[in-house]
Amino acid sequence: MIPSPGGELLRAPLFHTPRNPFRESSALESYADGGLLIRAGRVATCGDYTSVRDAYPEVPTVDLRGGFLLPGFVDTHIHFPQLRVLGGLGRSLLDWLEHCALPEEARMADHSHACRVARAFVHAMVSHGTTTALVFGAHFAPATAALFEAADAAGLRIAAGQVVSDRLLRPELHQTPQRAYRESNLLIERFHRRGRLTYAVTPRFAMSASEAMLEVCQTLLREHPGLLFQTHLNENVQEIEQVARLFPWAADYLAVYERFGLSQPNAVMAHDVHPTASQLDRLAASGTAIAHCPSSNAALGSGLFPLKRHIDARVRCALGTDVGGGIGFGMLKEGLQAYLLQRVAPGGVLLDAAHLLYLTTLAGAEALGLGDETGDFRAGKSADLVYLRPPADSPLAAVLERDPSPEQALAAIFTLAGAESVREVRVEGSIVYRSASTEKR
Ligand SMILES: [Zn+2]
């Protein structure tokens, strides 16, 4: 849908976190009767509805009261080929990879299958309110291209890349470093900076990448400005031991990536459940961001994420669903999982609604180098938003009837809202998803 040229004023209660609540107080901004003015796909202003309307009386109002406006969610760690292995409970990482994830990832060699999964995957993200994501592609270049095409067609903002590996997975998932270099280059030429797409160099993890393959990753990052880098780090104790055996020269897991210049401000590394103090200091110094995936960490028994140690060391952290090791596409649910696990983690951080909103929106944007583009409703940013309205007979609707404070309302949204409450999703002001029930509105 083309947004109206003179702009629109969306009227609904709205929440955003234009500041980092781990560093600043009053990070949450909310307006019980909010107005979000969108012009040419950008946020022109947001605030109390009456004052925005009085300042821009010529702009038509879209009355969305009864629901809530939040910035679009940013998922910083998710695997496209793993949509169909969600729910593979009862295993730990290496066992789960061997028996659940990798056989399914091998099916991505079938291009029509890959195209079908790509469309379903993109739809699942957007229908849960995710507007921006950093995505692990497939080990196959055509399947990875299918993901980019599906995201582009849907209007979603993604960074993604072909997963490169040359050992210890399944032979059909391995490429030689030369082939990985050639195919990655072709994908970069075709998709990097096309519309809302960014290319991310993506070695699966150190275990499955030889030194030659990591060198290819380093070369790609040097040769093409603006690429992101993503991989896994310190997820599982057995994985960490394997990495130590494979790279005997490395002081620790992170040192493997550091040797090839891969720990840097454009890098997002998933998990880091078991870091040493030295690794935390080095992650902070390099500007590398961590994608914390609490559902996956619990489902695979990887461990409890030491969030406080990351914050104290000033390591940048955001959230990821880690489909299919995680439990689904909902970033609200992921925020709730972060809260729950921090409640039971030794030395856990007591997260409030502002922390959860920040972690699911602006923190992710900042991790992806998009902190000036998306993640909150500050003027000038892309109008990326989720409109949530709980079904009339839902527990969330019942809670909200009590007219809670903004913080309590937001906490209830994180606790109770799922895809059934996502009514409309926009990227750059354009509607990229609308639920069937909203169309009847
Ligand atoms: Zn992962």
Distance from the alpha carbon of residue 59 to the mean position of ligand 1, in angstroms: 44
Distance from the alpha carbon of residue 269 to the mean position of ligand 1, in angstroms: 9
**Burial category of 42 from C-beta neighbours within 10 Å (exposed 0-12, middle 13-18, buried 19 and up):** middle
Could you tell me which residues come within 8 angstroms of residue 55 by beta carbon, excluding any fewer than 6 positions away?
Answer: 45
SS3 361: coil
Mean of per-residue pLDDT scores for the chain:
96
* Cis upstream peptide for 418 (omega within 30°): no
Q: Of the candidates 92, 96, 156, 98, which has an alpha carbon nearest to the alpha carbon of residue 122?
A: 156
Distance from the alpha carbon of residue 109 to the mean position of ligand 1, in angstroms: 20
Distance from the alpha carbon of residue 297 to the mean position of ligand 1, in angstroms: 10
Q: Of the candidates 371, 379, 385, which has an alpha carbon nearest to the alpha carbon of residue 3?
A: 385
Name the least confident of 11-20, 29-38, 252-261, 430-439: 430-439
Distance from the alpha carbon of residue 194 to the mean position of ligand 1, in angstroms: 25
Report the percent of the chain where pLDDT is more than 70.
98
Q: Of the candidates 122, 89, 146, 152, which has an alpha carbon nearest to the alpha carbon of residue 329?
A: 122
Distance from the alpha carbon of residue 431 to the mean position of ligand 1, in angstroms: 29
Q: Of the candidates 202, 142, 205, 214, which has an alpha carbon nearest to the alpha carbon of residue 168?
A: 205
Distance from the alpha carbon of residue 78 to the mean position of ligand 1, in angstroms: 6
Segment 38-56, tens digit of pLDDT: 999 999 999 999 999 999 9
* AA identity, residue 263: S
Segment 92-118, tens digit of pLDDT: 999 999 999 999 999 999 999 999 999
Q: Contact, 199 vs 228, CB < 8 A?
A: yes
Distance from the alpha carbon of residue 33 to the mean position of ligand 1, in angstroms: 39
Distance from the alpha carbon of residue 323 to the mean position of ligand 1, in angstroms: 7
Segment 124-134, tens digit of pLDDT: 999 999 999 99
Distance from the alpha carbon of residue 133 to the mean position of ligand 1, in angstroms: 13
Distance from the alpha carbon of residue 69 to the mean position of ligand 1, in angstroms: 29
Q: Does residue 1 surpass a pLDDT of 80?
A: no
Q: Does residue 235 surpass a pLDDT of 50?
A: yes
Q: Of the candidates 352, 379, 393, 386, which has an alpha carbon nearest to the alpha carbon of residue 125?
A: 386
Distance from the alpha carbon of residue 111 to the mean position of ligand 1, in angstroms: 22
Could you tell me which residues come within 8 angstroms of residue 308 by beta carbon, excluding any fewer than 6 positions away?
Answer: 347, 348, 349
What's the pLDDT score for residue 440?
46
SS3 431: strand
Helix (H) or strand (E) holding 134: strand 130-136
Of the pLDDT bands very low, low, confident and very high (cuts 50, 70, 90), residue 5 is low
Distance from the alpha carbon of residue 48 to the mean position of ligand 1, in angstroms: 40
Distance from the alpha carbon of residue 392 to the mean position of ligand 1, in angstroms: 36
Helix (H) or strand (E) holding 334: helix 331-344
What's the pLDDT score for residue 441?
46
Write out the two tokens for 277.
């103090």
Q: In Å, how far are 131, 205, 417 from 331, measured between CA atoms?
A: 11, 24, 10
Q: What is the mean pLDDT of residues 21-27?
A: 95
User: What is d(CA 273, CA 148) in angstroms, rounded to the nearest whole number?
Assistant: 30
Distance from the alpha carbon of residue 165 to the mean position of ligand 1, in angstroms: 14
What's the pLDDT score for residue 438?
61
Q: Contact, 101 vs 82, CB < 8 A?
A: yes
Of the pLDDT bands very low, low, confident and very high (cuts 50, 70, 90), residue 436 is confident
Distance from the alpha carbon of residue 82 to the mean position of ligand 1, in angstroms: 10
Q: Contact, 65 vs 31, CB < 8 A?
A: no
User: What is d(CA 255, CA 236) in angstroms, rounded to the nearest whole number?
Assistant: 17
Write out the two tokens for 360.
């699911």
Distance from the alpha carbon of residue 61 to the mean position of ligand 1, in angstroms: 42
Distance from the alpha carbon of residue 328 to the mean position of ligand 1, in angstroms: 13
Distance from the alpha carbon of residue 12 to the mean position of ligand 1, in angstroms: 36
Distance from the alpha carbon of residue 347 to the mean position of ligand 1, in angstroms: 25
Of the pLDDT bands very low, low, confident and very high (cuts 50, 70, 90), residue 437 is confident
Distance from the alpha carbon of residue 232 to the mean position of ligand 1, in angstroms: 6
Distance from the alpha carbon of residue 322 to the mean position of ligand 1, in angstroms: 5
Distance from the alpha carbon of residue 387 to the mean position of ligand 1, in angstroms: 28
Distance from the alpha carbon of residue 388 to the mean position of ligand 1, in angstroms: 28
Q: Does residue 439 surpass a pLDDT of 80?
A: no
User: What is d(CA 297, CA 273) in angstroms, rounded to the nearest whole number?
Assistant: 8
The number of C-alpha atoms within 13 Å of 361 and in the hemisphere containing its C-beta is: 35
Distance from the alpha carbon of residue 114 to the mean position of ligand 1, in angstroms: 19
Segment 336-384, tens digit of pLDDT: 999 999 999 999 999 999 999 999 999 999 999 999 999 999 999 999 9
Q: Contact, 3 vs 55, CB < 8 A?
A: no
Distance from the alpha carbon of residue 76 to the mean position of ligand 1, in angstroms: 10
User: What is d(CA 155, CA 382) in angstroms, rounded to the nearest whole number?
Assistant: 13
Segment 292-346, tens digit of pLDDT: 999 999 999 999 999 999 999 999 999 999 999 999 999 999 999 999 999 999 9
Distance from the alpha carbon of residue 293 to the mean position of ligand 1, in angstroms: 8
Distance from the alpha carbon of residue 31 to the mean position of ligand 1, in angstroms: 36
What's the pLDDT score for residue 6?
80
Q: In Å, how far are 234, 235, 355, 396 from 404, measured between CA atoms?
A: 40, 38, 18, 11
